[in-house]
Structure 1
Amino acid sequence: MPRELDRFHEQLSAYARDHGDAVAVQGQTWRYTYQQLLDEVGLRAHTLHRQPAGALVLALDNGPDLLFWDLAALFAERPCVIVPSFFSATQFDHCIAQSGASTVLCSTQWVPRLLSEGFVQEGEFWVRERSTDVQLPDSTAKITYTSGSTGRPKGVCLSAEAMLRVARELEAASRPTEPQQYLAVLPLGILLENLGVYAALMAGACVQVYPQRQLGMGGASQVDFKQLLGAIALSGAQSLILVPQLLMGLVTAIERGLMRVGPLRFVAVGGARVSPNLLARADAVGLPVFEGYGLSECASVVALNRPGAVRPGSVGKPLPHVQVRIADDGEVLVAGSILLGYLEEAPVTGEWWATGDLGHLDEEGYLYLDGRRKHQFITSFGRNVNPEWVESELTQGGVIAQAFVHGEALPHNLALLWPLDPTASDEAIEQAVQHCNAQLPDYAQVHAWRRLPAPLSPRDETLTANGRPRREAILQRYHTLLFDISL
């Protein structure tokens, strides 16, 4: 058993031995002590040893059962995929096919997809004989899929050592505030939340993990804030992880007197750029928010502000187990905790990982981000979207000739559109947009749009000579039109 994995198991065993009645996991209807947690995980790990070799796919809603199976796979050293609950059917199929999954546990919505792929039900599992021999990098413990900047999200292979070291550093970062009640707000299919739960268990805390709809969460960007904020208040949570859009809702509610900071001691925020103004507002109402930065390829968290070491405007200092340096062109490079490789690609052998983010370090070692090298944007819900993917979908229906999609740090994706027929009605364009949206996961859909006053063109420098959008030029030229879109 890898060193960090053995250490994690020993820690859970010590809590079970020394604090037998302490609640480890609280679900919608049941709660489990640390000893019961170990028993549940042990039974599932034993069951997994009898299943066919290959990756285990978990496509379940948040809850104790999902957590127990995830931990069972970890301790049984079985590669595991937790499918994000907001993935489309096409992306689910892609995960199943690319990972070479032999065993699946899923909610009923996915059963038709499994039947079409040749799976049969055996007890609680859906199983199949693998038709292809998928080669995973050695030591792969988890295959985490990004939210999918395109329709084919990449499978990132990570070791238990890398993930658990990050979780250990997250626990150490929050330790001065001594949180003992942790609420899992995000889907466990998001690596950041997955490791946040591990960190809470390492701290001997109680992990509250409820179905997403109980928290008012639907899809990747649909939130009933009244329900979510009520759940946070009722849970007595002392720590949680949020993406910027959820933090915005929490801060606004506190400002308006709709809820109190209450017992919250450590609120980590990441997944996308956080507005400095929002962080200042959080500080003004006394909400203990700590911004961080990371990416799946580096086992989630790379840098984090923490109690006693906060630098507004930065994403904090790198965690102790990683090294960060800035390339000559300004790109952030990370070493010490990187992926084993991508599925269907050669294993990663280099020491340094190029993040695609631009940044700089100050004289005290705090990391600041200065933008992204690629066109991909990250919504305020922390979902990665490649605008070229969405734009290509919009222009394939024979109605829209040109499309420009933007959503960086926004809760909704906006689009500027030019129809193939300049006389086309707004109703025809709207119908084309809705047809396109039906093919996309919700976080990639176009939520609002405006008709361009003229087609994009090399003449006004909104297109390159070969017809590619000049994104910065478009944003500058049509800034007022784009951000005047009403939702």
Structure 2
Amino acid sequence: MNEQAAWEQAQQSAPPSVGALLADRIARTPDAEAYRWRGPDGGWQSQTWAEAGQVAQEIAAGLLTLGLQPEDRVAIMSGTRIEWIHVDLGVMCAGGATTTIYPTSSIEDVTHILADSGSRFAVVESAEQLDKVTGSAVEHVILMDGTDSRALTLADLRERGRALPPETVTKATVAVTSDHLATLIYTSGTTGRPKGVRLPHRCWIYQATATQAVDLVGPDDLGYLWLPLAHVFGKALGAAQIAIGHATAVDGDVTRIIENLPVVKPTVMPAVPRVFEKVHAGVLAAAHKDGGVKARLFDWAVGVGRRAARTRRAGEKVPAGLAVQHRIADKLVLSKVRARFGGRMRFFLSGSAALSADICEFFDALGLPILEGYGLTETSAGAFVNRFDHLEYGTVGLPLPGTEVRIAEDGEILIKGPGLMDGYHGFGAADEWLHTGDIGEITARGSLKITDRKKDLFKTSGGKYVAPQAIETRFAAICPLSAQMVVYGEGRNYVTALIDLDPVAVRTWATENGVTGDTHADLVRSPQLRAAVDAYVAQLNAALGRWETVKRFTILERNLSVENGDLTPSLKLRRRLVEQRNSHLLDELYTG
């Protein structure tokens, strides 16, 4: 059965809501593992689907005792943790709708989101987050950690829920239709005030059934989830997980990923390009640290892995001689790298921003393929994804079954399908075709290739158009020190760039090259580091058209960050804001 037929069949029998989807999963595999997470003592705890459903039911009932009505909004402001998932499921089982808020959001954004969404309830992680909602129009606040006179604890809420008969929640769940609002996600916005994207239950059911039809993940897989659940990517993965029935390990602490993977031994992990870029740079740096035989062996092994992977992607059998070399390379080098990821990883998923094809090929050479996908908050995340039997690096793959794509005359990508939002909250219904704001093309094999953001394209004074994102993505694959390149040149006579270097990579480089400095700013001012980056820029320019080469650049002394507002919580560049903040540096690149 092909994907389209499988999806159509799944849609016909699909439950109408996420709460009903959860109930169906519990009925099918009540004793199968659903979630695992790190407990207070640092050890991993596990929970079955029946146990997770019981917690969600108690939370749902507790909200009903507080007066929750159908489609009432419940804001969740917390890092990624098991309680986030429990609360979200409880809200939807009770017939409410979750308003997602990043815990890094400023008090101004929190105030705006709570007021604009009309959220009656808020569930917050800590006293710090509680401070951000105090004084808002929220009627009830629930606190995950600790106690505070201004809020109920999550334990209190569950205790209230246990006093209600279970059929109260069942009745509320059954009353939810596919068109009822399930989630309000406020676009983190690279510019302007965030807008609420209205995603009804049918969007999450579509993500669930379409993911099943594509058949990349099975019930025996173990996912590793660290992505922010306030982001649409994490939410879509949660719906698909319930439909498929596999287990997921949950830990939102990004600093513990490398520590956790050998212990958890997941088979699938979603991530954003910046994670793959950092891992790529780290693996290369470790392999080449001492040079000599070790470095040459690593390069040889990766080269063999690349040739074998390319042969397989072309649908051809790996020749006997190459197969022998690959077995040796795998035993000596490649398998040892995979062991750092737990030794069972089948593939990674990448989304949220463009990923370099070179980095994809590098991971594939290691035996850790990356399936890049594409979607927006407005499409409830997944709209395209690469498949193992149709893997085309440098693209985001084919549409999910049920999704249609069209390229407008100006190159903008238009999307239509069941995963599209109802519209922006307070702005009326959405159009049939979503104008994504991205520029792209369809390859000869039918995959979608993203060129750049429409609003990010710029024209030099010589009349040449430049796509900055393509250049920035390529530099990330070339320069292991890079955290972010910001290409600039609107109306100018040549292209320049701001370059942000990764502080950990810079400190390691400095130690290995005898460069001293107390701060990151001290190190990036060194002539030796400037020369090293200059060499990487020259390598970048060698593959670019003359009009788009980076003629001059500045290395930033202050790192771009989510906390400072330079990046969105999903690590996308707020380009215009960064340009404004560093306008004096950009101006200097065109003088003298």
- Fold shared per TM-score above 0.5: yes
1:12 positional shift: 4.1
Structure 2 stretches lacking a partner, 5+ long:
1-11, 40-44, 141-149, 158-177, 288-335, 458-467, 477-483, 487-494, 504-524, 526-556, 569-573
Root mean square deviation, CA, Å: 4.0
Q: Distance in 1 between matches of 2:385 and 2:245?
A: 21
Residue in 2 that maps onto 1:330: 411
User: Is 2:195 aligned against 1:185?
Assistant: no
- Out of 195, 199, 204, the position equivalent to 1:158 is 199
**Structure with more of its chain in helix, by fraction:** 2
User: Is 2:80 aligned against 1:39?
Assistant: no
1:371 positional shift: 1.5
Q: Percent identity?
A: 22
Structure 1 stretches lacking a partner, 5+ long:
128-136, 217-226, 388-403, 413-425, 427-431, 456-473, 482-487
Judging changes above 3 Å, is the alpha-carbon distance between structure 1 residues 24 and 433 closer, same or farther for their aligned structure 2 residues?
A: closer
Residue in 2 that maps onto 1:232: 261
**TM-score, length-normalised on structure 2?**
0.59
Deviations 1:5-58 (A, max 9, x none): 447556544553454432111122242111111111122222223334431001
Deviations 1:315-344 (A, max 9, x none): 100001110011111111000131111123
1:251 positional shift: 3.8
Q: Distance in 1 between matches of 2:439 and 2:409?
A: 11
Residue in 2 that maps onto 1:265: 346
Higher alpha-carbon deviation: 5-14 or 196-205: 5-14
Indicate the SS of the match to 2:270: strand
Q: Distance in 2 between matches of 1:406 and 1:47?
A: 53
Q: Distance in 1 between matches of 2:563 and 2:19?
A: 44
Task: After TM superposition, list the pairs within 5 Å mapping 1:41-56 onto structure 2.
Answer: 41-50=56-65, 51-53=67-69, 54-56=72-74
Residue in 1 that maps onto 2:128: 109
Contact kept, 8 Å, 2:17 with 2:201, in 1: the verdict is: no
Structure whose CA Rg is larger = 2
Judging changes above 3 Å, is the alpha-carbon distance between structure 1 residues 52 and 203 closer, same or farther for their aligned structure 2 residues?
A: closer
Q: Distance in 2 between matches of 1:453 and 1:56?
A: 43
User: Is 2:435 aligned against 1:354?
Assistant: yes
1:368 positional shift: 1.2
1:167 positional shift: 3.0
Q: Distance in 1 between matches of 2:213 and 2:274?
A: 26
Contact kept, 8 Å, 2:337 with 2:366, in 1: the verdict is: no
Judging changes above 3 Å, is the alpha-carbon distance between structure 1 residues 410 and 301 closer, same or farther for their aligned structure 2 residues?
A: farther
1:312 positional shift: 2.0
Deviations 1:113-158 (A, max 9, x none): 222225564533899xxxxxxxxx9732111122221352121111
Contact kept, 8 Å, 1:323 with 1:334, in 2: the verdict is: yes
Q: How many residues align?
A: 399
Residue in 2 that maps onto 1:241: 270
Indicate the SS of the match to 2:456: coil
Deviations 1:227-259 (A, max 9, x none): 322222221111111100111233445554665
Q: Distance in 1 between matches of 2:21 and 2:585?
A: 59
User: Is 2:400 aligned against 1:319?
Assistant: yes
Indicate the SS of the match to 1:45: helix
- Out of 80, 83, 90, the position equivalent to 2:108 is 90
Task: After TM superposition, list the pairs within 5 Å mapping 1:83-482 onto structure 2.
Answer: 83-107=101-125, 108-119=127-138, 121=150, 123-124=152-153, 139-150=180-191, 152-175=193-216, 180-210=221-251, 212-213=252-253, 215-216=254-255, 227-253=256-282, 256=287, 260=339, 261=341, 262-336=343-417, 337-348=419-430, 350-375=431-456, 440=565, 443=568, 452=585
Judging changes above 3 Å, is the alpha-carbon distance between structure 1 residues 303 and 33 closer, same or farther for their aligned structure 2 residues?
A: same
Higher alpha-carbon deviation: 436-445 or 201-210: 436-445
Judging changes above 3 Å, is the alpha-carbon distance between structure 1 residues 155 and 15 closer, same or farther for their aligned structure 2 residues?
A: closer
1:90 positional shift: 2.0
Contact kept, 8 Å, 2:21 with 2:243, in 1: the verdict is: yes
